[in-house]
Structure 1
Amino acid sequence: MADPRHLLLARAGADALRSLSSGLWRHRADLSGADLRGAVLRGAELPFADLRGADLRWADLREADLRWADLEGADLREARLDGARAEGALFVSADLSGASLLKALCQLADLRGAKLAGARLAGADLSDADLSGASFLGG
């Protein structure tokens, strides 16, 4: 379950996260299961964060640092991840339908079973990413 302190910071937005980013990184922010629909987290520093099962629909994660973050089962429909750094991130069974990942860095990301229908991936770096069982068609 999400750490209430981390949840308050996330709801406050990227500036609050950035101001305490070193502390969150040390503690690996726990935002698992958090309701962050439409949150503005542009440029947020969330490496190694636990975002399993989080609701990030319509969230603005442009240029966010999500390296090695765990987003297993997260709902990222229509989220904006343009220019995000998500190297090694776990998107196992995550729903990225309609999400924008333009120029996102997703090398070594684990996207097994992820839903990517309608996702915008132009310029995204998916080298060495695992897309086993990922679906690119709706339904």
Structure 2
Amino acid sequence: MTGANLSGADLSGANFYDANLYQANLSGANLNIANLHRADLVDADLSNADLSGADLSGAFMLNTNLREANLIGADLSRSNRTTADFTGATMPDGTKYAGK
């Protein structure tokens, strides 16, 4: 699904386990409780996406745009997110992320 345009799609509960979502556009998508365990989200756009309760454990999020995303209750354990942009995102604990 490299470069897929899923912007605004309702993907709640979807199973993207180990999926290749490199450069995918998931902006504004509903990914509530989706399984993104070990997904390749490098250079993907998840801005304004609802990722509440999603499993992002072990995901590769290099240069991933997560601006203004809702991550309440999401599992980010063991994910590689060192260059992801979480500006304005609501983090798993409910706090707003202010920096990059």
- TM-score, with length taken from structure 1: 0.67
What stretches of structure 1 move > 3 A for 4+ residues in a row?
Answer: none
C-alpha RMSD of matched pairs (Å)? 1.5
**For the residues of structure 1 that align with 2:9 and 2:98, how far apart are their CA atoms?**
27
Bigger RCO (CA 8 Å, 6+ sep): 2
> Structure 1 pair 107/133, CA: closer, same or farther in 2 (3 Å)?
closer
Asked if 1:132 is matched to 2:76, the reply is: no
Amino acid of the structure 1 residue aligned with 2:62: E
Choose between structure 1 and 2: higher helix proportion.
1
Counterpart in 2 of 1:31?
Answer: 6
The number of residue pairs the alignment matches comes to 98
Provide structure 2 residue ranges, at least 5 long, that are not aligned to the other structure.
none
Counterpart in 1 of 2:75?
Answer: 100
Aligned-residue identity in percent: 42
Indicate if the aligned counterparts of 2:75 and 2:92 stay in contact, CA closer than 8 A.
no
User: What's the CA shift for 1:108?
Assistant: 1.1
Asked if 1:56 is matched to 2:31, the reply is: yes
Matches within 5 A, 1:106-121: 106-118=81-93
- TM-score, with length taken from structure 2: 0.92
Counterpart in 2 of 1:76?
Answer: 51
Report Cα offsets for 1:47-105 as digits up to 9, x if no partner. 11000000000000000000010000000000000000011100000000000011100
Provide structure 1 residue ranges, at least 5 long, that are not aligned to the other structure.
1-23, 120-130, 135-139
Asked if 1:86 is matched to 2:61, the reply is: yes
Indicate if the aligned counterparts of 2:28 and 2:46 stay in contact, CA closer than 8 A.
yes
